[in-house]
Structure 1
Amino acid sequence: MSSRIALGTSREATQPDCINALVVEFICTFLFVFAGVGSAMAADKAGASTIVGLLFVGITHAFVVAVMIAAGFNISGGHLNPAVTLGLAIGGNITIIRSLLYWIIQCLASALACFLLTYVTGGLVTPIHSLPKGVDPLQGLVMEVILTFSLLFTIYTTIVDPKKGPLQSQGILLTGLVVGANIFAGGLFSGASMNPARSFGPALVSWNWTDHWVYWVGPLIGGALGGLICDNFFIVRSHVPLTRDDEAF
């Protein structure tokens, strides 16, 4: 297996293209979390049954993920998610330096979205991701690893793969659809976060960190495995992804 991880340089943070990417990533992540968490709050306020609420939240996430990836794709890549950023960094599609900046921006955007949701809803609590009764931390962790791996597998095989062919124009929509499908499959067991930033904002605003570590460790492991396996076994390249003055190791 070859490693394409690129460290990057400290100068990257001051480059115009990086600054533009950070601004766009902030906006897209903010709008994603605002709609995603807002849908969960709306379902709670409406007194929706568990299954109706799950469908409502899953469909909302599928739509908003696809739209926000499309909106940010040509500038920031539309990651919206530290686990996606990590998975793409392992394949050399983004430098480690820029990845860390993305993580900060994604978490800040999520926090701001949740603070504003609390304000505009008159003080409603932002629902957190936590494990339901009967699901232990290891079970929740494994669920999050698998669901996030599924997300990265979809991203790599339908968007990143240079030989994706007819899937090229469909990959962004398919990524949104797999997020919705994973919420349907795992929402009642782990919450189906797949995204540490998506879990961070509600936990911060509600100041409820119950099981929060699961929603960092699980998605990051799943994202890393997705990037490692897809890059080495599914993606065939004839060139090194990053060719600027980045350090590869």
Structure 2
Amino acid sequence: MKSLPKREDFFKPVLKAIYELGGSGRNDEINNKVIELLQLPADLLEIQHTETQTKFEYEMAWVRTMLENQGYLENSARGIWAIKTDHKVDLNFSVSLKEEKQIANEISERENWKDELIKTITDELSPNAFERLVKRLLREKGFIQVEVTGRSGDGGIDGRGVATINGILSFHIIFQCKRYKGKVSSKEIRDFRGAMVGRTDKGLFITTGQFTRDAIFEASRDGAPAIDLMDGEKLAEKLKELSLGVHIEIREKISIDKNWFRNFENG
């Protein structure tokens, strides 16, 4: 396979993926399930669309938005996509040029701010400033005893902290920060895991870039200490969630309900 399937060929796999996830799922869960169903090769999944999004991820966003507009899916405020059970599954519909442009605009509104945010971080912040930003982020998420070490020769370890769960359970973590636009490789994950040995059972790798597919598999490899990953897109989402350097403006959108007016013809 030299290119990704056509958009319309993703409609059924996306719906099937969500069905197999129990009727709902997040973007990454749906994407991973579609990759599994279609057995898409790694080289196609690495093609970039923007700094924070691959071509595959963009196509998936397009398909989900199209299915939402057609009434097959709904998207909650928390970014969960769910199948609308009251809708018959009939995917024999065509997409007009006007609809394509509308969907592209919707995706741009949803995603472009992430690229701008990550560009601001990579262009405006020094590596030390980025580490301090991560420290603030972790504290806002409930971590305590957060320290940024950043010592050379420390195996890539940039800091450590303690994550707490409901004020009852806690566990120590070690984290690494990479402020760059490239992709983190599986070797870097292995090196980070090697630095973790004997220090902690949990690692967190944060980057403004992305992770290769091999790096993602390596992070969750069976029999090895698990490493949680936060790429540029997830980092942007967390900063938005916590309103850290991100301001949200709610705009009024007015639409006309023509059916409401037509009801007067039945009087």
* TM-score, scaled relative to structure 2: 0.28
| Bigger RCO of structures 1 and 2 (CA < 8 A, at least 6 apart) | 1
Query: What TM-score does the superposition give when structure 1 sets the normalisation length?
Result: 0.29
Bigger radius of gyration = 2
Report the structure, 1 or 2, having the larger strand content. Answer: 2
Richer in helix (by share): 1
